[in-house]
Chains A and B, each alone.
Chain A
Amino acid sequence: MADVVLITGTRKGIGRYLVDHFLSKGCLVAGCSREQFEEPLPAGYHHYIADVADEAAVVDMVRDVRKRIGPVSVLINNAGIASMNHVLLTPLATVQRIFSTNVFGTFLAMREVAKVMMPASYGRIVNFATVATPLNLEGESGYAASKAAVESFTRVAARELAPFNITVNAVGPTPVMTDLIRSVPKSKMDALIGTQAIKRMGEHRDIANVIDFFVSRDSDFITGQTIFLGGIS
């Protein structure tokens, strides 16, 4: 039976890449973003306009996916936002916005999707962490802290959902050329890449590779883990 894959934050960047990635593997793919997806939609892809931080919207989306496509068996919690700022200059509203999407959005999608995975006694959930957390990147306090919370949610949810054969893991990408980092100066980016064991910019396929491992049916003994790319630990 084909996996039903739900990916959050699919309009651009890594999420958009993952839509094509899972479609090419023959999966049934649904996704969401706050804004309209490009037209025409890729064949076999269902799009929802939904903010992952909006509880009612997430509940409705997961319910609708179940009705139209089937119960979600793979959840990719990709939706995320970042904001670079010195802690002294960061407005509370910015940190609240980051936590709303990155932490509360991840939690909501995880909770609602786990409810439909539970009766099937099977599920794969992949959350998004970041190397900004272990590297304690300056200027990224809100973002790094929000993703630290995601790592913690991942570890605890992994234990709570294990009895239902649902695994929960996280991938921690290095910088990949997306909108999130477009505004970061090149010198900063080079310094950051210099801290990696493998000194190159990450690519979408690097992230997809770790996700493929986590969502594989054979990975039923792998849960609560965060894998960082590029040799960061």
Chain B
Amino acid sequence: MKKEAFELVVFTIQQEADDLGYANLKAVSADTLLFGGDDGIDSLSLVRIVAAIERAAEERFGRQVVLADDKAMSMRNSPFRTVGTLTELLSERLGGGHG
């Protein structure tokens, strides 16, 4: 599940990269920084990416996945920080019976 989640996250981010205007998101790895710090993307771009991943996950796995819930928003280490942490979150939500 984690490999599929990673592929979906990477594919979706790369698809959105052009629209968002972040050239560094055209080729990403697990360590690619998303949100936070000076080099991260803006909050609106994060909203777009999270919504696109939720949509893609629903199409791919046939069920609704909610990434941005209270639990995710209040974690000490933001799950939206890198491609890797976002994959962890998606994988957990897909495996954990949420949504």
Residues of A whose CB lies within 8 Å of any CB of B are 59, 63, 115, 118-119, 163
B residues less than 8 Å from A59 (CB atoms): 64
B66 closest partner in A (C-beta)? A59
B81 part of interface (Cβ distance < 8 Å): no
| Chain A residues within an 8 Å CB radius of B52 | 119
Return the chain A residue nearest B45 by Cβ. A163
- Which residues of A lie under 8 Å from residue B48 when comparing CB positions? 118
B interface residues with partner A (beta carbon < 8 Å): 44, 48, 51-52, 54-55, 58, 64
CA distance A163 to B43 in the complex (A): 12
Please measure, in the bound complex, the distance between the C-alpha atom of A119 and the C-alpha atom of B16, giving whole angstroms: 10
Alpha-carbon distance between A63 and B55 when the two chains are bound, in angstroms: 10
Contacts of B54 in A (CB 8 A): 115
Decide: B51 and A115 in contact? CB cutoff 8 A.
yes
Interfacial chain B residues near A119, Cβ < 8 Å: 52, 55
A163 touching B55, Cβ below 8 Å: no
Closest to A59 in B: B64
With a cutoff of 8 Å between Cβ atoms, the chain A residues found around residue B58 in the complex are 63
Query: 7 closest A-B pairs (Cβ-Cβ)?
Result: A163-B44, A115-B51, A118-B51, A59-B64, A115-B55, A119-B55, A118-B48
- A76 to nearest B CB, angstroms? 22
Cα A182 to Cα B57 in complex, Å, equals: 47
